[in-house]
A and B are shown apart, each in its own frame.
Chain A
Amino acid sequence: MATVASPPHARQNPLAKTRELGIVIALAALVAYTTVSQPRFLSAQSIRDILLNTAILAVMAAGQAVVVITRNIDLSVGSVLGVSAFTVASMMSADPGLPMVVALVTGLVVGAVAGLLNGVLVRYGRVPALVVTLGTMYIFRGLIYSWAGGGQVNADELPTHFLQFANDSILGVPWLVLIALVVVGGVALLMRNYRLGRELYAMGSSPSAAELAGIKVARNLLTAFIVSGALAGLAGVLFASRFGTIDASAGNGYELNVVAAVVVGGVAVSGGSGTVWGAGLGALLLTVIGSALTVLDINQFWQQAIVGALIVLAICADRIVAVRIARSLRKRDSHV
């Protein structure tokens, strides 16, 4: 490979590839098994549903992956989704004439502001990301409740073009799926090939070394949190458009699925490794598991337990790979 731009990636790449290959194989096996026992699993409608359900999760997972790669975490994404969904839904019901673009931009901005707040508290308040985002998860959720109370925005109050957006497609690809593909692809490219992305990996591998190497750690960290917040905000708009009925509990508990998608997708919580593509695949795998359980008529209650078991398995797998890399590096160093 003649990629001069990303030398540190070259060594990680084969392992990263096997990690993502693992998810693809798991996906293929699951789809094959489910289709053999229930052929309707691969009907056009079913595939469409799976992709639409993946889209929202994948958009959030891409943002979360960026934050986790810097050795931080953003647990506030579910609440940010709720704030964004409720803001945009209220806005659209108050002024039905607004075009879809305004809704999307509003969601992005609302999320970015929330992300900026998280980033400032982490960097300048020197409060660990876990504590900050746990706190803001509560605070944002509380804000929606005190704003919305028990009320909700119903689908019949929303303009049709807003609700239609979730069902419309371009060249047979639904808008939601297209947005998710662009987001995951764009962020993946940014993390793989651009300076900002490489610096974020460096910060996750060793925060103090990154600072000593002259990387603008503060600016990059704020960017990472803003990206995660903005994408959660975007997911909020998609959520509102897809489900139509928005109350104060929108997106409650989503953070768990997002973190699960990222970790299952091979992004290590210890930072510095994993890819955004992997996180997207993780989101797809989790959604496919959910649909497969329904199609196979397995008790829906198993889903959460399986997600939990998958997280634990994924961490174990990453640990084994990391130990093996460390051993091979040590061996190579001793020969030199």
Chain B
Amino acid sequence: MFRGRLASWDAIILALTVVVLVVASLGVPNFGTSRNFTFLVLDLMPIALVALPMTLIIVTGEIDLSVASILGLASSLMGWFWNNGLSIETIIPLVVVIGAVLGAVNGLLVNALGLPSLAVTIGTLALYRGLAFVVLGDGAVADFPFTYTGWVTGTIGGGPVPNVLILIVALAVIFGIVLHATPFGRSLYAIGANDKAAHFSGIRVARSKFWLYVASGAIAALVGILWTLRYSSARADNGSGLELAVVAAVLLGGVSIFGGKGNLPGVLAGVVLLAALQNALRLQDVSGQALNIVTGALLVLSVLLPNLASSLRTALQRRKRRQAVTS
């Protein structure tokens, strides 16, 4: 039964996304242009990429709030390594590996010591962001080679499709296959639904969750690199607050914060919805900070509305049953 409800929530989000895209293209000047499409994709890139591992983590009933800080630390490290004369071909894999290690620290604290992931990742959120400032201070490093910065902001053959879209699609397909078409992916739903039952049916709960945190750290560091290259600026405060937008997008996409429910296509629709709405409002000269109201409201509504719908449904069913008994 809840499968039906979920499918309908997915459908609502998908429909809402299409409506927003159509209305914005017709009603908002410059929204439907190919130039704006390029910017839209570039803007949603960080949220879309970080949301992929985040979806898997939330499906298991855990959370990772340290992603934006890993992004910032990756950006700082990139600037620091660059200042110290490392080549960019060495820096990129090195920073991704460091990101994986940072994620592994989260994973060990949560799974080896059994600590609550919310508290641990609030702690590492402060720790990693603090380290980012320790590495680079409040300065910026900006002189990255154009071959790389140009690739990130560039488009395929000069058309409207940005190069980074290839990366987003490729990673989304990989994560989609892992979650929806492998035994590992199925086991994540089992862990989220009931981790004790999952443990007793032979699933390696702690080990599976550990690798999700490693993946989350590595992807966050990768996004840190892309972010740095896009704005040609390595700064310690890059991406601060992004974790909230990512969690908002994932929950908006129909993933339950309690774990065990949700799917990746829904999350991607949530990401597009959030990004398109923000982009359209920004084109209408709504200030960036006032946009927070929309993000926050969507976040609360994404959980509130399905809850209200299900209470309404049970209330109606109870009334119907009572009427059937009395008649």
Contacts and interface: CB of A to CB of B under 8 A. Distances in A.
A binds B: yes
B103 to A, nearest CB: 15
Interface in A43-70: none
Contacts of B292: 138-139, 141-142, 145
Interface string A289-313: 0000000000101111111111110
B307 interface: yes
B296 interface: yes
Among A137, A143, A306, A308, the one with the most B-chain Cβ atoms within 10 Å of its Cβ is A308
Nearest to B240: A253
Contacts of B311: 126
Contact of B300 (A136, A142, A248, A316): A136
Contacts of B154: none
B244 A138 contact: yes
A142 B290 contact: yes
Given A134-B299, A138-B244, A145 B128 contact: no
Contacts of B127: 304-305, 307-309, 311-312
Contacts of A260: 122-123, 126
A319 B108 CA distance: 14
A304 B300 contact: no
Nearest to B134: A301
A127 interface: yes
Given A125-B303, A145-B292, A304-B127, 16 more contacts: A134-B247, A137-B244, A138-B293, A138-B295, A139-B292, A139-B293, A141-B289, A142-B289, A260-B123, A263-B122, A263-B123, A270-B116, A299-B134, A301-B130, A305-B133, A312-B127
A149 B286 CA distance: 11
Interface residues of A, number: 44
A306 B128 CA distance: 10
Contact of B123 (A142, A145, A299, A315): A315
B109 A312 contact: yes
B263 to A, nearest CB: 19
B124 interface: yes
Interface string A238-271: 0000000000100000001001100100000110
A156 B63 CA distance: 45
Contacts of B130: 301-308
Contact of A256 (B126, B133, B287): B126
B129 A304 contact: yes
Nearest to A132: B300
Interface in A17-36: none
B114 interface: yes
A311 B122 CA distance: 8
Q: What 6 pairs between A and B have smallest CB-CB spacing?
A: A308-B127, A305-B130, A138-B296, A308-B126, A304-B130, A311-B123
Nearest to A270: B116
B134 A302 contact: yes
A99 interface: no
B244 A134 contact: yes
A131 B114 contact: no
A11 B158 CA distance: 71
A325 interface: no
B297 interface: yes
16 contacts: A125-B304, A130-B118, A132-B300, A139-B296, A142-B289, A142-B291, A142-B293, A142-B296, A149-B287, A260-B123, A305-B127, A305-B133, A309-B123, A312-B109, A315-B116, A316-B113
Among A125, A149, A307, the one with the most B-chain Cβ atoms within 10 Å of its Cβ is A125
A141 to B, nearest CB: 5
Interface string B131-168: 10110011000000000000000000000000000000
A127 B296 CA distance: 13
A220 to B, nearest CB: 21
Interface in B279-314: 287, 289-297, 299-300, 303-304, 307-308, 311
B128 A308 contact: yes
Nearest to B133: A301
A135 B296 contact: yes
A135 B251 CA distance: 11
A326 to B, nearest CB: 12
Interface in A99-139: 121, 125-128, 130-132, 134-139
A3 interface: no
Interface in B222-264: 236, 244, 247-248, 251, 257-258
A131 B126 contact: no
A131 B251 contact: yes
A183 interface: no
Nearest to A257: B126
Nearest to A140: B296
A310 B290 CA distance: 34
Interface string B188-228: 00000000000000000000000000000000000000000
A180 interface: no
A161 B292 CA distance: 35
Contacts of B119: 263, 269, 311, 315
B115 interface: yes
